[in-house]
Amino acid sequence: MPRINLLPWREGQRRERKLAFLVALGVAVLAAMVTTFAAYLLFDSTIAGQQRRNQTLRTQIKMLDKQIEEINSLETEKQKFIARMEIIEKLQRSRPGIVHVFDEIVKTLPDGVYLTGVQQVSAGASKRLKFDGVAQSSTRVSSFMRNIDASEWLRNPELQVVQTSKGPGSSFTLTADEVTTSAPEENKPQAPAKGKTRKASLGDAGVQR
């Protein structure tokens, strides 16, 4: 009976299988490397795109911040301009009032009273005038206060100081409120009732310019 030696054939078959396995393993490794590289490129491209978008956003934010600063600066300039306009309008409104006040001061001065100084003092929201002067007698000072109380541009006289000197008269200091042109409607004098003097009606309410 003849014998067949199968060892060389089996050895060759094992070598072929080993070679096929190595080839398949190499292909798998190569495919994995290609896939990894492609994924890396994809992620790198995505990150680069996001970074570009972030840079664009930062640039836009800087531009917007600069525009906001310019707007705030313009708003500040606007407020300053409005404040200057209000001051100018206030001065323009008060300019004729000063003329009337000084004219009224001359009218309220009785004979025998001489002013040595007129000063505007701070009295809250109202304008208050301080009068320094010399009068021949206290009766003249009282007459001056009554004239102020009956004035259309002055009101609320208050005597501060009266000093009798060795000279021909007595020095005095008194204050009075100035009636502004922006006085409310309630400051207008009411029509005097019968039997009441002009002083009484003007003492109840100030007179608007």
Q: Is residue 48 part of a domain?
A: no
Q: Is residue 56 part of a domain?
A: no
Residue 178 resides in a domain: yes
Does residue 7 sit within a domain?
no
The confidence score (pLDDT) of residue 10 equals: 73
pLDDT at 87: 83
Per the structure, how many domains does the chain have? 1
Q: Which residue has the tokens 């003092």?
A: 121
For the domain that residue 123 is a member of, what is the CATH number?
3.30.70.60
> Are the C-beta atoms of residues 102 and 131 closer than 8 Å to each other?
no
| Whole-angstrom distance, CA of residue 43 vs CA of residue 41 | 6
Q: Is residue 12 part of a domain?
A: no
Tokens 């009032």, residue?
97
Distance separating alpha carbons of residues 195 and 209, to the nearest angstrom: 26
**Residue 114 domain boundaries:** 90-204
Question: Which of 200, 138, 193, 197 lies closest to 163, judged by CA?
Answer: 138
Q: Is residue 77 part of a domain?
A: no
| 103 lies in some domain | yes
Torsion sign over Cα 127, 132, 136, 142: positive
pLDDT at 193: 41
Query: Are 101 and 153 a contacting pair, CB within 8 Å?
Result: yes
Tens digit of pLDDT at every position of the chain (209 positions): 556 555 676 777 888 888 888 899 999 999 999 999 999 999 988 999 999 999 999 999 999 999 999 999 999 999 999 999 988 887 777 666 677 788 888 888 888 888 988 888 766 566 788 999 998 888 888 899 999 888 888 888 888 888 776 667 788 999 988 876 544 344 444 444 433 333 333 333 333 32
Decide if 67 is inside a domain: no
Is the pTM for the entire model greater than 0.75?
A: no
